[in-house]
Amino acid sequence: MNIPGLGQAAPAATFSAPTIQAAVAVHDLQANSEWRFEVAYGQSIEVKILSGTAEIFGTELAVNHTYTFRGTKSSIFTWHGCRIEVNGPCEEYMAEETPMITYVNTHFALEKLRDDAIQNGGEGPRVLVVGPNNAGKTSLVKLLTAYATRMGRQPMVINTDSREALLSIPGTLTATPFASIIDVEHGWGSSPTSGPSPVPVKLPLCYYYGLASPEDDTKLYKPILTRLALAAASRLADDPVIRGTGMIIDTPGVISQGKGGYDLISHIVSEFSVNTILVLGSERLHSEMQRRFSAYKTRSGEAITLVKLDKSGGCVDRDDTFMQQMQEAAIREYFFGDPKRTLSPHTQQVNFDDATIYKIHEGGEEDSQQVGLYENVEPSSMMLHCLLAVMYASTRDSQETVRDASVMGFVYVAEVDEKKRRLKILAPLNTRITDRPMIWGSWPETTVSLI
């Protein structure tokens, strides 16, 4: 079972009030401008570049190719001007002021570091992107990744935000080498179980945290981060192209907004040997990072470079409703595919006595210190419509070994029959799961019935 790929900008821009675009429309974008749009869940639009050049978060769009976008908030930028055709309803506006110049300059500065690393036989930059919620961190990571792949590089992209997964289900932390372009219609791309794709699939290494915020249980979050860092470092050591390109690390906004979070940033810096920190959209955070890391040295004796970048005027707040819709869409796509690639998941009947299920403690760090990492639980009706992470471990392994194992895949609890002591499980592949431990977390939250 592999984790499938899932679909998912400067000072304030000058624009007219957002409008709902319904019919076919043609827009002419001036050089260095951006067309920003929002498509609601349950709706879709088709966009075609008629002439000129344009890109989405660093990935160039082909001329006269129709792109379909569903349930997204995104933007199309042009360096030299272009004409686009839009078919479908969306909220949209034009922006003439963007931070793209500073972002691309950041990319070229990283390229210089990569050239130096390859020439000297060292590692490329390990870049950490920090900033408050809805500051555009993931968009910047995506842009820097896309520009690196366009230069023939293979960056290792690290996601430490369990609330929003990268090429996986929410609740996970991943490390993914990118050797090909990003599929702009699906956010980050796809993996083998998503079905055939015109864009080469990505193969993430996935670890399960199972809670929405790192601060919910730092005693669990930190060792998983450490295990992720070890796995990423091992991959860099084995592949000279990835080693010369380095890492780009995305972070959850919550750790950039308080003292406890700053300690987690320090942990990430230490474990991943970060030597470049990009601070997005926060003077206070930049000042705190300067105070903490101005004299800091990595294990290899490198100093940390701190860079403050402006938040894009195109960044929008994503309310709880949008986040829930995004989460449910990711889960549905994992089991059933998308409109272009339909999947047919399998159902299995599992006896209560055959299932080994660990529940993450709701009490958080203090509770887990007293009774262990997980609670070994018997299946119950409380699991209905929940996801369970199937781990690459044995049912005889210790809880620490299970925690440090990577994720084999996910199953969905469709029915719980307490009288017959039997579970009905939905799984992407018809694979035996009773000889593997499964973890039940509180994130992603209980979803609506999938079947």
Q: In what order do the strands lie in the sheet with 422-427?
A: 346-351, 422-427, 407-417, 387-391, 438-440, 357-360, 374-377
The dihedral through the CA atoms of 388, 407, 210, 362 has a sign that is positive
Q: Is 219 marked as binding a ligand?
A: no
- The residue type found at 175 is A
Paired sense of beta strands 357-360 and 374-377, if any: antiparallel
Residue 303 to residues 173, 219, 325, Cα–Cα distance (Å): 27, 28, 42
* Contacts with 241 (C-beta within 8 Å, 6 or more apart), sequence order: 153, 154, 179
Report the run of H or E that residue 391 belongs to, with start and end: strand 387-391
366 appears as a binding residue in the annotation: no
Residue closest to 222 by CA, chosen among 261, 170, 278: 261
CB 93 within 8 A of CB 15: yes
Beta strands in 112-169 (DSSP E): 126-130, 156-159
CB of 84 within 8 A of CB of 50? yes
Q: For the CA atoms of 421, 446, 434, 375, what is the dihedral angle to 10 degrees?
A: -90
Name 147's Cβ contacts closer than 8 Å, sequence gap at least 6. Answer: 58, 104, 107
* 303 and 125 Cβ atoms separated by less than 8 Å: no
Residue 138 known to bind ligand: yes
DSSP secondary structure letters along 209-244 = --SS-GGG-HHHHHHHHHHHHHHHHHHHHH-HHHHH
Residue 38 marked ligand-binding? no
Pick out the residues of the known binding site: 34, 73, 134-139
Pick out the residues of the known binding site for ATP: 34, 73, 134-139
